[in-house]
Amino acid sequence: MKNLAPAIFPPKGIGDAKPSNKAVLDWVHEIATLTQPENIFWCDGSERENEFLIGESLKQNVLIELNEKKVPHSYLHRSSPNDVARVEQFTFVCTPTKEEAGPTNNWADPSETYTKLRGLLEGAMRGRTMFVIPYIMGPADSPLAKIGFEITDSKYVVLSLRIMTRMGEIALKRLGNDPNAEWNRGVHSLLDVSPERRFICHFPQDNTIISVGSGYGGNVLLSKKCLALRIGSYLARKQNWMAEHTLILGVESPEGRKHYVAAAFPSACGKTNFAMLIPPAHFKGWKVTTVGDDIGWMRIRDGRLYAVNPENGYFGVVPGTSNKSNPNAMRSIAHDTIYTNVAFTDDGDVWWEGKDGKPPAHAIDWRGNDWTSQSSEKAAHPNSRFTTPMRNNPALDPGVEKGEGVPISAIIFGGRRSDTVPLVYQAFDWNHGVYLGATMASETTAAATGAVGRVRRDPMAMLPFCGYNIGDYFQHWLDIGSQLTNPPLIFNVNWFRKSADGKFLWPGFGENMRVLKWIIDRCEGSGGGLKSPVGWLPSPHDLDLAELDINHNAVDELLCLDHEEWKKEIAAHKEFFDSLGGVVPEALQKQREQLAAGFEP
Ligand code: OXD
Ligand code: MN
C-alpha cells in the first residue's frame, strides 16, 4: 500500500531534535519498545526537515508534486479509498465509567482498550520510521496554549501537522524539563489501513490519544478533533474554560468599530466560508477577518469571553470552493498547500466539483483512475480537503497571535435545515442561548462516514467532539454563563432554508454579511427585533437588504415561524432530551417548557 512506505534515513542534522524532558523520553521509549520501528525521527519543524520529508514523500508516492507554475509548492495526496472521512462509529471515549463518557459517546473500558491497542501496535512500525512531533496548540505565550506530542509512522501526518500546528522546537522550548508539565500523548499508526483495525481512542484522564488504522486527517492529525476538541473539552471543564467547534471572525465597521464573533456550525456547513466572508459591494468599508475556521478555545477575562484559535492552518473541504463562494480560500490554497483526494489534471493542476471554469476534459480522479468530463463519478471526493497555513489567508486577523485572545461579542449557532428554522434569531439571554445550542440540528454531510442529509441533533456542533458526558457539558455552559458579567449575545442562523419547490431561499456566502450586520447591530444595541416564542426575530426592514436581488416573499418565508413545524420541532427537542436518559440540566428542561408554552393557543 502506497502510504505504508519503508523507513527513511535522514542525513546528519535532520531528525535529531530529541527533547530533553525525561517524561517525554520515557514515553517515546515505551512506544518504540512496543512498535519496534526501524528508526526514530525527532522532528524540529525546520524548513530543511520539511524539504527532506517532502522529497522522501515524493519518492515513495505519498505525495504527487503539482505544477509549480499553477500551484507553487503544493502537493496531492491520495488516501486509501476506504479511508476518506472521520469514523464516528470507531471513535471512543475511554473514561473509567460509562457515565463519564455519557449517552452521546461510544464508551470503551480504558484498561481493556489499552490492552487491545497494545496488541495492535505490537511491532506495528517494524521496517518503518517512527516520527516524534512536538507541537503547541494556541499562540505559544497564551495562557490557553497546550502542548502535544504525536508519535506517528506517517510522513503525511508530519507534513500536515507542520501546517496545522506550531510545530517543533517552539513546543520543546515551551515544555521545558518539568517532569510534571501537562502535555498530551498522541500515538498514531497506519497499521494496514484496514477499516477492521481502525480505532480512534481518547483517554481524557490520561491526556492520551491512540489512533490506529487510518490515514484520514480528521482521524490522525491528533491535534485537531482529538486534542483540541475531545480532550480539550474535558480539560476545559476541569480548568474552567471552553473548547468549542467554532470559527472566530472579526468584523470591523467603516468607522473602525470592531467585534469578534464565534460561530459553531457542524462539519462541512460553511464555517470556513463564513470565517473568510467578503462583504458585498453595498457594505463598503466593512471588513471581515479570520481568527480561526474550525476551533475556538475561550476563557473568562474581566467578565467576558476571550478566544484563541488553537490551530495554525486550515483543513477545509475543497468541493464547492471557488472564487464565487470563497475568494479568500481560493487565494489561501493557491500555493504551499497539501490537497487530499482531489482530481489531478493532465497539466499537473488540481480540480474539484464546483471549482471555477470548465471541468477538464480528462483528469485522474481521487482514486487514481482515469476520469473524463462525461464520467458519472465525482472527480474529487466530496470530503476532499486542503491543508494550508493560516498565514496564506489574505483576510487573516491581526489579533490571531494574541495570547490573551480576542473578546467575543456574539456566539452563533447554526446548521443545515431545509425547513422550520428562520434565517436568524437571537436568544433572550445566556441560558436560552445554551438551549438553542443544545437543541440545534443539522442535515448530515460527507465529513463523517454514514448517510448524508439526515437531520440529526448536534448540540453546539459538538456531538462528535464532546469528550465527556453531554449533560455535564450543558451544565458547564450554564456555569460559564453565570461567571460572565458581559456575556456574548447568542444567535441561531440557518442559511439553508428551502422553498416548497426545494430551492434555497437565501443566497448565502458573502450575502451572509447582511445577517452578520444585524447581529453586530444587536450587540451595539441598535438593531431592531420582534419578540417571538423562539427569540428575537428581525423583521424584513431590520435587515439591510439593499442592492440584494431577493423577493419579498422569500424574505418573509426566511423569517417566518410555521407553528405546525415548530410543534414538531419542540417534540423533537423533547425526544432528544429524553434520549439522553436524564442528564439534561433542569434549567434547559425549563427552557423547553417555556418554548412550548409560547406556541400554546
Ligand atoms: C473537520 C470536521 O474536519 O469537522 O473540521 O470534520
Ligand atoms: Mn470541524
Residue 36 has pLDDT above 50, yes or no: yes
Ligand 1: centre distance to CA 218 (Å): 6
For 571, counting Cβ atoms within 10 Å of its Cβ (0-12 exposed, 13-18 middle, 19+ buried), the class is exposed
The answer to whether the CB of 409 falls within 8 A of the CB of 523 is yes
Over residues 437-442, the mean pLDDT reads 97
Burial 394-415 (b: 16+ CB within 10 A, else e): ebbbebbbbeebbbbbbbbbbb
Asked whether 218 lines ligand 1 (CB < 6 A), one says yes
pLDDT at site 444: 85
| Active site annotation includes 466 | no
Q: What is the pLDDT of residue 451?
A: 77
What's residue 1's pLDDT? 46
CB of 86 within 6 A of ligand 1: the answer is yes
Burial 50-76 (b: 16+ CB within 10 A, else e): bebbbebbeeeebbbebeeeebeebbb
Answer whether 221 contacts ligand 1 (Cβ < 6 A).
Answer: no
Residue 514 CA, ligand 2 centroid: distance in Å: 24
Q: What is the pLDDT of residues 234-274, one digit of tens each?
A: 999 999 999 999 999 999 999 999 999 999 999 888 899 99
Q: Taking a C-beta distance cutoff of 8 angstroms, is the pair 244, 295 a contact?
A: yes
- From its phi and psi, is residue 404 left (phi > 0), alpha (psi between -120 and 50) or beta? alpha
> Tell me: the pLDDT tens digits for 363-395?
999 999 999 999 999 999 999 999 999 999 999
Q: Considering the chain, what is the average pLDDT of its residues?
A: 96
Give 146-164 pLDDT, tens digit per residue.
Answer: 999 999 999 999 999 999 9
Is it the case that residue 214 has pLDDT exceeding 50? yes
Which H/E stretch holds residue 52?
Answer: helix 47-59
pLDDT > 70? residue 3: no
Q: Tell which atom from ligand 1 comes closest to the C-alpha of 294.
A: 5
Which phi and psi angles does 523 have, rounded to 5°?
-65, -30
pLDDT given for residue 140 in this prediction: 96
Residue-wise pLDDT for 560-593, tens only, equals 999 999 999 999 999 999 999 999 999 999 999 9
Rounded CA gap, 69 and 153, in Å?
Answer: 31
Strands of 219-369 (E only): list them: 242-244, 246-252, 258-264, 287-292, 296-301, 304-308, 313-317, 338-340, 343-345, 350-351, 362-364
215 with 194: CB under 8 angstroms? no
Q: Is 294 in the pocket of ligand 1 (CB under 6 A)?
A: yes
Grid coordinates given for 398: 491581526
What is the Cα–Cα distance from 60 to 64, expressed in whole angstroms? Answer: 10
Mean pLDDT in residue range 336-358: 98
For ligand 1, atom 3: residue with the closest CA: 218
Residue recorded with cell 410543534: 567
User: What's residue 2's pLDDT?
Assistant: 43
Q: Looking at the whole model, is its pTM more than 0.85?
A: yes
Q: For residue range 459-483, what is the model confidence (pLDDT) as tens digits?
A: 999 999 999 999 999 999 999 999 9
Ion ligand 2: residues, CB within 5 A, are 267, 294
Residue 452 has pLDDT above 80, yes or no: no
Rounded Cα gap, residues 588 and 58, in angstroms: 54
